[in-house]
Chain A
Amino acid sequence: KAGVTQTPRYLIKTRGQQVTLSCSPISGHRSVSWYQQTPGQGLQFLFEYFSETQRNKGNFPGRFSGRQFSNSRSEMNVSTLELGDSALYLCASSPSTGSGNTIYFGEGSWLTVV
């Protein structure tokens, strides 16, 4: 069974631009969540989608948004990029939602903002 797939793996953007990252969950998984990893802040939860609905959101500004499609694939968007948005963005999927579910991570998308 294929794992969580994220595209693109690496990208460089300029301040003020916007970026869209894509995620394909493990087949059959309906929950997709996104995390930001930086050396200073570590791993931080961005948001979770389940059945095309955002279930919860971490403490990030409104420039960070996401969506989930009917096939469970997800995208996240960051508008008006800032230098501090440079990070590894990790997508994760799980069969369902709830604290006991095992969450499987993709390899991430490395975003550099210059």
Chain B
Amino acid sequence: GDSVTQMEGPVTLSEEAFLTINCTYTATGYPSLFWYVQYPGEGLQLLLKATKADDKGSNKGFEATYRKETTSFHLEKGSVQVSDSAVYFCALSGLSSGGGADGLTFGKGTHLIIQP
């Protein structure tokens, strides 16, 4: 079945540092790829998405490019802020995802801590 692998962390960075969170996936066909963010005590918020190979999703300074040749969707940000501290989830949606046709398959989540 489909799967998503990402570093779990915690990842600790200083403010204004460059961020990369790696995400690789295994899926049949051509899945759509997503990054979600979860702040403490809250639900998931969509950060960005890409629906086909070579698409770049971007939002709030974060970017990720859908790389089919390396089955990756790494999240990057040039200069992180304390307010970016959260848990980041990489996810895919495709055939046979989560046991069904359209459910999201999530990675384990990466806990990001930004220190002032």
Contact = CB atoms under 8 A, between A and B. Distances in A.
Interface of A: 4, 31, 33, 35, 42-45, 47-48, 55-59, 90, 92, 97-108
A90 B102 contact: no
A108 B93 CA distance: 20
A56 B109 contact: no
Interface band, chain B: 20 to 34
Contact of A45 (B32, B42, B95, B104): B104
Given A99-B31, A99-B93, A102-B49, A45 B44 contact: no
A19 B104 CA distance: 24
Contacts of A107: 42-43
Contacts of A48: 100, 102-103
> Of residues B43, B44, B46, which shows the largest number of chain A Cβ atoms within 10 Å of its Cβ?
B43
Contacts of B91: 43
A104 B51 CA distance: 16
